[in-house]
């Protein structure tokens, strides 16, 4: 084969920019901007759709992404990258939905008339039922459940920081092509594929049960998890949830160094022993906080009804109760209304014990 023919075939194998899948983030808040920023930094074609306040922030401040391992990158947004209208993503090949759980139905209704049949839609949201709720409104799309295991905090305007470890998880399917998986891997966001996403999402939710406790503590995650009484609060909520999952026949998987069924017992250990045995669980950036804390500080509605609320709904479906999780829901709703927004560890633990 002559050189000219070899070069010609090489050029034919190189996809043009228009052939590279376009990935859109619908709901560009902290998680959406972080994932979108990582993808943009790797050269992917990305569009962000978010609120006007985020658009103003990214006009005034460069999009900066960083993580607890020392990664840091400033990203220049291409023209037309950030949009406030859903219509901007009508030609996208992949749509990552990162809106708050309460806005899932609205998101589906906005996307339905825009997306072409077969568009891959991934729910990277807290909670259990979001993918199912999207499927109802996007019957012509391939809707997959996804899970974001790590915490992202907007440290300063336009700066989104990953403070904890973990890899994105996504439902296994033939529609998730090698090309798309490689794009995420290149961005430093390798995808873990799972056939049973229900087990994955409930296992993540067991960890997310700490979100309201962190929000009510008013202190960073690492400091909060270093205090035994806060961990005992979490243990009460986790034990209650694990009992319900066992009754419902729902399995869990291991997402941390500690097997999931052991979590409530490890959380109750004395501080000195917990620090030694669960050191990886404390491998958290000192500034990391829960998104629920961030929502309370900003005066926004939290996702408590889609985290602890999933537990109370499961209990109701089983004809049982979940008093600890129900009490946490009540306390967060009170905090949303400006009533006792912070709790000392011993006071919160005693309050939950009374509820239990």
How many helices (H) does the chain have, and how many strands (E)?
16, 12
Using the Cα atoms of residue 80, residue 81, residue 83 and residue 86 in order, give the sign of their dihedral.
positive
Tell me which residue of 347, 345, 341 sits closest to 297, measured CA to CA: 341
Check whether residue 292 and residue 232 sit in a common domain: yes
Check whether residue 80 and residue 149 sit in a common domain: yes
Neighbours of 296 (CB within 10 A): 23
Count of structural domains within the chain: 2
Check whether residue 56 and residue 172 sit in a common domain: yes
Q: Rounded to whole angstroms, how far apart are CA atoms 153 and 58? A: 15
DSSP class of residue 100 equals -
What contacts 191, CB < 8 A, 6 or more positions away?
167, 168, 169, 170, 176, 181, 184, 185
Check whether residue 213 and residue 345 sit in a common domain: yes
What contacts 319, CB < 8 A, 6 or more positions away?
none
Check whether residue 207 and residue 84 sit in a common domain: no
Q: Rounded to whole angstroms, how far apart are CA atoms 345 and 325? A: 17
Check whether residue 217 and residue 275 sit in a common domain: yes
Q: Rounded to whole angstroms, how far apart are CA atoms 190 and 170? A: 10
CA distances from 245 to 44, 145, 191, 215, 264 (A): 39, 19, 26, 25, 14
Per-residue pLDDT tens digits of the chain, which is 356 residues long: 444 444 444 344 444 455 679 999 999 999 999 999 999 999 999 999 999 999 999 999 999 999 989 999 999 999 999 999 999 998 899 999 999 999 999 999 999 999 999 999 999 999 999 999 999 999 999 999 999 999 898 989 999 999 888 899 999 988 888 889 999 999 999 999 999 999 999 999 999 999 999 999 999 999 999 999 999 999 999 999 999 999 999 999 998 888 999 999 999 999 999 988 777 777 778 888 899 999 999 899 999 999 999 999 999 999 999 999 999 999 999 999 998 889 999 999 999 999 98
Check whether residue 87 and residue 144 sit in a common domain: yes
Picking from 176, 195, 214, the residue at the C-terminal end of a domain is: 195
Q: Are 105 and 77 in contact (CB under 8 A)?
A: no
Domain membership of residue 10 (yes or no) is no
Q: What pairs with residue 251 in β-bridges?
A: none
Domain membership of residue 148 (yes or no) is yes
Check whether residue 163 and residue 250 sit in a common domain: no
Check whether residue 32 and residue 162 sit in a common domain: yes
Check whether residue 164 and residue 216 sit in a common domain: no
Q: Rounded to whole angstroms, how far apart are CA atoms 311 and 355? A: 15
CATH number at residue 239: 1.10.1040.10
Parallel, antiparallel, or unpaired for β 168-171 and 159-162?
unpaired
Domain membership of residue 340 (yes or no) is yes
* Percentages of the chain per state (helix, strand, coil), in multiples of 5: 50, 15, 35
Q: Which domain holds residue 184?
A: 19-195
Q: Rounded to whole angstroms, how far apart are CA atoms 192 and 175? A: 15
| Tokens 């990158």, residue located | 73
Q: Are 137 and 67 in contact (CB under 8 A)?
A: no
Tell me which residue of 166, 182, 147, 154 sits closest to 66, measured CA to CA: 154
Q: In Å, how far from its chain's centre is CA 92? A: 21
Check whether residue 80 and residue 224 sit in a common domain: no
Using the Cα atoms of residue 93, residue 150, residue 259 and residue 325 in order, give the sign of their dihedral.
negative
């Amino acid at each position: 084969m002559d050189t000219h023919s070899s070069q010609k075939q090489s050029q034919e194998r190189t996809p043009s920019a228009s052939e590279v899948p376009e990935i859109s983030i619908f709901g560009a808040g902290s998680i959406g901007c972080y994932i979108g920023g990582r993808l943009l930094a790797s050269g992917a074609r990305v569009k962000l759709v978010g609120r006007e306040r985020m658009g103003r922030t990214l006009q005034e401040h460069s999009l900066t992404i960083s993580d607890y391992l020392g990664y840091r990158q400033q990203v220049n947004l291409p023209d037309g990258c950030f949009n406030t209208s859903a219509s901007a993503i009508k030609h996208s090949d992949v749509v990552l939905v990162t809106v708050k759980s309460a806005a899932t139905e609205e998101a589906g209704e906005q996307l339905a008339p825009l997306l072409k049949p077969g568009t891959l839609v991934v729910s990277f949201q807290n909670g259990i039922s979001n993918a199912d709720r999207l499927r109802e409104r996007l019957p012509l799309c391939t809707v997959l459940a996804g899970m974001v295991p790590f915490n992202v905090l907007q440290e300063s305007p336009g700066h989104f920081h990953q403070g904890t470890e973990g890899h994105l998880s996504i439902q296994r399917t033939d529609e998730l092509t090698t090309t798309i998986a490689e794009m995420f891997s290149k961005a430093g966001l390798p995808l873990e594929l799972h056939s049973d996403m229900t087990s994955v999402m409930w296992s993540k939710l067991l960890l997310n049960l700490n979100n309201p406790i962190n929000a009510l503590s008013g202190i960073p995650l690492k400091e909060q998890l270093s205090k035994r009484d806060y961990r005992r609060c979490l243990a009460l909520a986790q034990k209650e949830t694990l009992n319900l999952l066992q009754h419902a026949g729902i399995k869990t998987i291991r997402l941390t160094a500690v097997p999931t069924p052991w979590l409530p017992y490890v959380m109750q250990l004395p501080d000195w022993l917990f620090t030694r045995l669960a050191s990886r669980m404390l491998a958290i950036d000192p500034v990391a906080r829960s998104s629920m804390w961030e929502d309370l500080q900003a005066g926004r509605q939290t996702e408590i009804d889609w985290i602890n609320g999933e537990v109370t709904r499961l209990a109701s479906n089983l004809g049982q109760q979940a008093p600890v999780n129900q009490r946490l829901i009540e306390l967060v709703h009170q905090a949303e209304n400006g009533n006792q927004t912070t709790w000392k560890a011993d006071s919160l633990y005693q309050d939950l014990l009374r509820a239990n």
